[in-house]
Amino acid sequence: MRVCIVEMPSYTYAVKGEKLLSSRGYPCKIKRNISASPGSCGYSLFIYKDVKNAVAVLEQYRIPYTRITYGGE
C-alpha cells in the first residue's frame, strides 16, 4: 500500500495534525522517520487514504510540515 509521509517540524504539531485528520476521517498515524531528515523533528504523519485532501486539510488549518514523500507500507 502506498502511503503519504508528511515530515513534521515538531512532535506537538504531529499530534495536532494526527488528531485533526483522524477527526475528519483520514486514517493516519505518527511514526518515527526511517531516514534522516535534518529539518524535521524526526516524526512523520503517515496518511493512508485520500492523501491530497488530507494534506489540504493540514494546510487549511496551518499545520506546518517540512516535507512530503511517498512510500510503501
Partner 1 sequence: MLINFDNAATTFPKPRSVRKAVSEAVELFGGNAGRGGHPLAMRTSAALYSARETAADLFGASPENTVFTLNCTYALNMAIQGIMSGGGHLIISGMEHNSAARPAAALASSGRITLSVAEVFPDDSRTVEAFRSLIRKDTKAVVCTLAGNVTGQIPPWKEIAALCNERDICFIADGAQACGIYDIKMSDGINILCTAGHKGLYGITGTGLLISDGKYPIKPLIQGGTGSASLSLVQPELMPEALESGTPCIIGALSVKAGIEFIRQKGMDSIRSHEERICSRFIKELQAIPGAAVYREPEASYVPVVSFNIGSIPPEQLAAELSEQGFCLRAGYHCAALAHASLGTRNGTIRFSPSVFSCEEQAAALANSIKNISGSGKYQKNY
Residues contributing to the site for partner 1 (CB under 8 A): 9-13, 15-16, 30-33, 38-43, 64
Q: How far is the CB of 36 from partner 1 (least distance, A)?
A: 9
What DSSP letter does each residue of 20-44 carry, written as one string?
Answer: HHHHTT--EEEEE-SS--TTS-SEE
Report the C-alpha gap between 39 and 10 in whole angstroms: 10
**Smaller CB separation from partner 1, 35 or 52:** 35
**Smaller CB separation from partner 1, 19 or 24:** 19
Name the nearest CA neighbour of 46 among 35, 33, 57. 33
**Smaller CB separation from partner 1, 7 or 55:** 7
Q: How far is the CB of 2 from partner 1 (least distance, A)?
A: 22
